[in-house]
A = this chain, B = another copy of it.
Amino acid sequence: MSRLGVRVSGNLTAMPAPLWDSAFLRACRGEATSHTPVWLMRQAGRYMPHYRAIRARSSFLSLCKDPALSAEVAIHARAYLGVDAAIVFSDILVVLEALGLPLEFTAGDGPKLTAPLREGAHVAALRASSAAAADLDYVHRTVALTVAGLPGHIPCIGFCGGPFTLASYAIEGGSSRHFTLTKTFMYREPAAWAELMERLVQTLAAHLTLQIRAGATCVQIFESWGGALNRADFARYVAPALRSLVALLPEGVPVIAFAAGAGHLQELIAGCGADVLGVDSTGELDAAFASRQRHPGLSAVQGNLDPCLLLATPERLLEGAAAVLAEAAGRPGHIFNLGHGVLKETDPEQARRLVAFVQETSRDGRHGRSG
């Protein structure tokens, strides 16, 4: 059953018609649209001169904690690209900081959790979920400011990291190639792992709910590193947490579930209760559409152009984009996106070219669009 039957926004006020009828939210509900809506994961980021200018004056974490500046970054990227949705500017790791794990971003080296979680006892020592979510107030204010600054017909997507992805950062202390420490913890301390998943689920549910109350009209769960697990382990150690998280979110606001490098997990993620299945470049749009038959709550499919194609020639880029549209074949409930975040080497002009191409080509109905 769809979670999306209720015509309310998360704060339980009726959603304005231009927003409710936006191509993006219609597509999230699996409804026909005048064109295929498009946005790009990490659409506001280092590849944008506007963003780099702001970062020249502010560290990454200071920027995340400055609602006005974060809103400006998100709003500018949305307008520059002409995409059909904005996404809140924030980082998935601020949740770990709020849970009591000190967080640093060092230039070049990426994120560092300087006191990683290595033992079961560390899980019990995490701060309470409600306190953590309250501490993330600056994100919720960012949402409100972003929504206030966007055109009335443009939805704002809130987000969080997925439970496995956050657990992996907490345990490894940063990014990882093999997720050795994370999997070892998961295999050796299943009870502590389950407790960690539960703590993360409660915190993430509160954090997303507060983003929705602040005006986010869709949320995406970035279970980015989930693809590091095989199917059996994902089903056993992570999928239950993902299902709990989705179940805790208010109805009426679409939830997108995304994992990278996770073609092999596509069916499991399709079954987590989310409304939209985010498909990465290793996944298959066609199979994702077919998943809707087996999961009646699943309304839409998002993806999945390889972000490296933005570094190709314009001709090769648009050939790739056309192939994605052709695979979606104009079926209602397709949101065009990349298979992963925009790479820092990307020419912003190429990203803008891609967005215009997707909107115009799909509006022409050249790809069999019905609506």
Contacts and interface: CB of A to CB of B under 8 A. Distances in A.
Interface of A: 178-180, 183-184, 187-188, 227, 230-233, 261, 263-264, 281-284, 304, 306-309, 311-313, 316, 323, 339, 343, 345
A179 B313 CA distance: 17
A180 B231 contact: no
Which of A227, A281, A308 has its CB near the most chain B CB atoms (within 10 A)? Answer: A308
Contacts of A232: 323
Contacts of A312: 183-184, 187-188
B179 A316 contact: no
A227 B281 CA distance: 10
Given A311-B183, A343-B180, A345-B180, A306 B261 contact: no
Contact of A264 (B178, B283, B345): B283
A304 B227 CA distance: 15
Given A227-B282, A284-B231, A308 B179 contact: yes
B178 A343 contact: yes
A232 B339 CA distance: 13
Which of A187, A283, A306, A339 has its CB near the most chain B CB atoms (within 10 A)? Answer: A187
Given A263-B263, A316-B188, A180 B311 contact: yes
9 contacts: A178-B308, A178-B343, A183-B309, A187-B316, A188-B316, A231-B282, A233-B306, A261-B282, A264-B283
A40 B228 CA distance: 19
Contact of A230 (B188, B264, B339): B339
Contacts of A282: 227, 230-231, 261, 263-264
Contacts of A179: 308
Given A187-B311, A187-B313, 11 more contacts: A180-B308, A183-B309, A184-B312, A188-B311, A188-B312, A188-B316, A227-B261, A230-B281, A261-B261, A263-B263, A264-B283
